[in-house]
Amino acid sequence: MFRHERPQSGRLRQHHQFGVEIFGDKSAETDLEIILLGLTYLDNLGIKDLKLKVNSIGTSKTRIEFKKSFENYMNPLVSRLSEKDQKKYELNPIRILDSKESATQDILADSPKPIDFLDEDSKDHWEKFVLLLEESIKMFKGVEFEIDKGLVRGLDYYSRTVFEIQPKNSNKAQSSILSGGRYDNLIENIGGPDTPAAGFGSGIERVILNMNEKEYEDLDFTQLLIIPASEEGLILSIKIAQQLRNKKIPTSICSSDRSFKAQMRYANQINAKNVIVLGNKEIESNKISIKNLSSKIEKTIDLTLENILSVLDSNG
């Protein structure tokens, strides 16, 4: 993807993003499901100590009344905004709610907020969502959530629930690593049928930046590296690796084009915990040796998946 805006830290001109969406369900449970999926994804990457910010911006109809009230409040104060926020206000007054400039935030402190103009259906949706979230968030250690009445999304098609996930105590202007919400009118706005929807987007580069700031001692990136020592060994290595991956054991196969010394060097580079060499000798004897690279302890076992799993489990 490409941005037109000026690049800055954590906000690249060219970037990569992936997203998750659920179509056809307008319930608060769907909003929660999307958020829990995002938190699980970040947790599996080892990104901890997160803050989840949530808000409801109502529907396109409720925002008409809000916008009138907001403009009445802001119009006498626009000249006090920075040049950047004045331009933003001209394009879409609501967008300055998420300004990161402290002077603007001081002005906005007592301004009307979209959540104060919700209709009854939106209020019911919001109250149910918050109730579910308060219980579900407890499943994620180190994650806290905050109702941020100033949180809005940059695209006008959002409705009701919006959210952002960012590292705690982050003072960076571009700190969000995953954000999204509900956009029930989007499909209809582009010519399709009335279809409720919710989803999130996550910038891959920004996630990587946060991964680099974390420690990974407890993450099992490669539990086992298999080094094939023959063509037959490579074929069997592929089968064993897939069986282990199916059991959620992170397993890699080293390229057979490297020398054995280079293969062991690769094992250290990827922080592999255990190594197996699998060639004709091992296939004929039906025995393999699993070496733990931390303890240097080597165990010889019969070549079965159950035995491999047992040793990996005992090695931790």
| pLDDT tens-digit readout, 36-49 | 888 888 888 878 88
Highest mean pLDDT pick, 28-37, 170-179, 207-216: 28-37
What CATH code is assigned to 224-310?
Answer: 3.40.50.800
CATH topology of domain 17-58+118-212: BirA Bifunctional Protein; domain 2 (3.30.930)
d(CA 193, CA 4) in angstroms, rounded, equals 31
Q: Residue 150's pLDDT is what?
A: 82
Asked whether residue 308 carries a pLDDT value surpassing 60, the answer given is yes
Q: Residue 217's pLDDT is what?
A: 47
Q: Residue 84's pLDDT is what?
A: 86
Burial class (CB in 10 A: 0-12, 13-18, 19+), 45: middle
Look at residues 140, 156, 129, 137 and name the one whose alpha carbon lies nearest to residue 59.
Answer: 156
pLDDT digits (tens, 9 = 90+) for 248-258: 888 888 877 77
* Predicted confidence band of residue 18 (pLDDT cuts 50, 70, 90): confident
User: Which residue is associated with the tokens 């400039």?
Assistant: 101
pLDDT digits (tens, 9 = 90+) for 94-127: 878 877 788 888 888 888 888 999 999 999 999 9
Look at residues 297, 304, 142 and name the one whose alpha carbon lies nearest to residue 314.
Answer: 297
pLDDT digits (tens, 9 = 90+) for 127-165: 999 988 888 888 888 888 899 888 887 566 788 999 999
Q: Residue 154's pLDDT is what?
A: 59
Question: Average pLDDT of the chain?
Answer: 84
Fold agreement between 17-58+118-212 and 224-310: no
Q: Residue 13's pLDDT is what?
A: 61
Show me where the domains of the chain are located. Answer: 17-58+118-212, 224-310
Query: Pick the residue with more confidence: 310 or 270?
Result: 310
User: What number of other Cβ atoms are within 10 A of residue 296's Cβ?
Assistant: 7
Terminal-to-terminal C-alpha distance of the chain? 41
Look at residues 69, 29, 1 and name the one whose alpha carbon lies nearest to residue 182.
Answer: 29
Q: In the numeric block, which tokens belong to residue 287?
A: 């025995």
Look at residues 174, 284, 268, 290 and name the one whose alpha carbon lies nearest to residue 222.
Answer: 268
Q: Are 301 and 287 in contact (CB under 8 A)?
A: yes
Q: Residue 282's pLDDT is what?
A: 92
Q: Are 269 and 207 in contact (CB under 8 A)?
A: no
pLDDT digits (tens, 9 = 90+) for 277-295: 999 999 999 999 999 888 8
Asked whether residue 315 carries a pLDDT value surpassing 60, the answer given is yes
Chain Cα centroid distance, residue 178: 5
